[in-house]
């Protein structure tokens, strides 16, 4: 027993290394990134151009504090445990990631509003919050992602959609705003939505989605999940949103199972055609658990539609 106690006392205690604060400039940021350790904060200072590099995997969250920097288009592959805070960016793309947070960034494109502002592909667990996106083809693209949260973020003047989330699961989209945009280009097959998802044939259908407390001022559509033939959507809740839609599809679910649509306030944009009253469309959707408390305003001779109150 004494020998055991002696071994316990003599054993060194393991403490995590103290996190460091580093400074990176356009001249040395690659070297600084190579030196970064678990939990470090890197202050990015200066005017950075475009960048394309392989990320790193950390055991504890690393922070890029970009508040004092401007950036071109950054493309990072294989990053794990990273928070990006602040900065003005042309665009950011992460592929093959895990545990990414993007906070308080400004991402602004240019004419003719091409590309994606934030582009997240084939990863897990991303949070986007308190950010602003302007003048892109699509503001945020979430593709092949499991676990995403988008909150308190503003889209402005998108040529197409604010948020696209194809082939993705476990999504929470809350308290976001899409400001009015110029018209899309119908000849390119474009139409504007606040949030849109779709499944891909052969993959698991899109599943476990919450869309709540969002506002879209038009002329965009609202929250729409199409592509019935590819599997539709499982377990989607669209609640407490305010959508001003310039198209008939203010809320659309195709081939849905476990669908809840409650307390949405929907009106038609003045830019809509007289025959296109904004509405809720359930296409081949038999799995509606609850539709209640929604209000659709009158439009061009079409009466208002008020669903029964929620119990």
**pLDDT tens sequence across 102-151:** 999 999 998 878 899 999 999 999 999 999 999 999 999 999 999 999 99
Q: Is residue 257 part of a domain?
A: no
Pick from 51-55, 124-128, 154-158: least confident: 154-158
State pLDDT tens for residues 277-287: 999 988 877 77
Q: Is residue 263 part of a domain?
A: no
H or E element at residue 43: strand 41-47
Q: Is residue 218 part of a domain?
A: no
Query: Is pLDDT of 3 > 60?
Result: no
Q: Is residue 71 part of a domain?
A: yes
pLDDT in the model for residue 218: 72
Longest dimension (CA), the chain: 91
Q: Please, how many CA atoms are within 13 Å of residue 204, restricted to the half-sphere of its CB? A: 11
State pLDDT tens for residues 291-306: 999 999 999 889 999 9
Query: Is pLDDT of 9 > 50?
Result: no
Pairing of strands 21-24, 138-143: unpaired
pLDDT in the model for residue 188: 54
> Which residues on neighbouring strands pair with residue 41, listed in sequence order?
21, 63
pLDDT in the model for residue 159: 86
Q: Is residue 117 part of a domain?
A: no
Q: Is residue 297 part of a domain?
A: no
pLDDT in the model for residue 2: 46
Query: Is pLDDT of 4 > 60?
Result: no
pLDDT in the model for residue 275: 85
Q: Is residue 304 part of a domain?
A: no
Pick from 14-28, 200-214, 259-273, 292-306: least confident: 14-28
Yes or no: say if 231 and 255 are a contact pair by the CB < 8 Å rule.
yes
Q: What total of structural domains would you count in the chain?
A: 1
Phi, psi at 176, each rounded to 5°: -100, 160
Residue 289: how many CB atoms within 10 A of its CB? 13
Q: Cα–Cα distance between 297 and 303 in angstroms, integer?
A: 7
Q: What is the dihedral of CA 21, 25, 27, 31, to 10 degrees?
A: 20
Query: Is pLDDT of 257 > 50?
Result: yes
- Report the chain's mean pLDDT, rounded to a whole number: 90
pLDDT in the model for residue 10: 46
Domain that holds residue 90: 39-108
Q: Tokens 């401007």 correspond to what residue?
A: 70
**What are the CA-CA distances from residue 61 to residues 95, 122, 193, 237, 274 (Å)?**
18, 20, 33, 31, 52
Q: Cα–Cα distance between 100 and 126 in angstroms, integer?
A: 5
Residue 271's pLDDT band, with cuts at 50, 70 and 90, is confident
Query: Is pLDDT of 178 > 90?
Result: yes
């Amino acid at each position: 027993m004494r020998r055991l106690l002696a071994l316990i006392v003599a054993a060194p205690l393991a403490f995590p290394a103290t996190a460091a604060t580093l400074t990176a400039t356009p001249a040395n940021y690659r070297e600084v990134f190579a030196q970064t350790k678990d939990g470090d904060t890197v202050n990015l200072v200066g005017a950075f151009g475009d960048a394309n590099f392989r990320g790193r995997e950390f055991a504890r969250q690393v922070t890029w504090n970009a508040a004092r920097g401007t950036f071109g288009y950054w493309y990072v592959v294989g990053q794990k445990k990273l928070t990006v805070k602040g900065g003005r960016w042309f665009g950011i793309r992460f592929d093959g990631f895990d545990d990414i947070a993007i906070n308080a960034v400004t991402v602004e494109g240019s004419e003719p509003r091409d590309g994606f502002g934030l582009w997240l592909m084939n990863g897990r667990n991303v949070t986007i919050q308190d950010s602003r996106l302007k003048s892109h083809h699509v503001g945020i693209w979430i593709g092949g992602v499991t676990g995403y949260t988008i909150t308190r973020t503003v889209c402005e003047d998108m040529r197409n959609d604010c948020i696209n989330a194809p082939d993705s699961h476990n999504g929470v989209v809350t308290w976001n705003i899409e400001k009015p945009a110029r018209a899309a280009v119908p000849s390119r097959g474009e139409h504007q939505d606040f949030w849109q998802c779709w499944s891909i044939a052969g993959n698991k259908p899109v599943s476990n989605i919450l869309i709540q407390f969002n506002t879209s001022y038009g002329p965009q559509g609202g929250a729409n999940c199409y592509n019935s033939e590819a599997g539709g959507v499982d377990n989607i809740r669209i609640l407490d949103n305010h959508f001003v839609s310039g198209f008939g599809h203010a809320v659309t679910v195709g081939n849905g199972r476990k669908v809840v649509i409650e307390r949405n306030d929907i009106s038609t944009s003045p830019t809509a055609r007289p025959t296109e009253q904004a509405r809720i469309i359930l296409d081949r959707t038999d799995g509606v658990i609850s539709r209640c408390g929604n209000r659709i305003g009158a439009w061009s001779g079409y009466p208002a539609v008020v669903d029964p109150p929620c119990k």
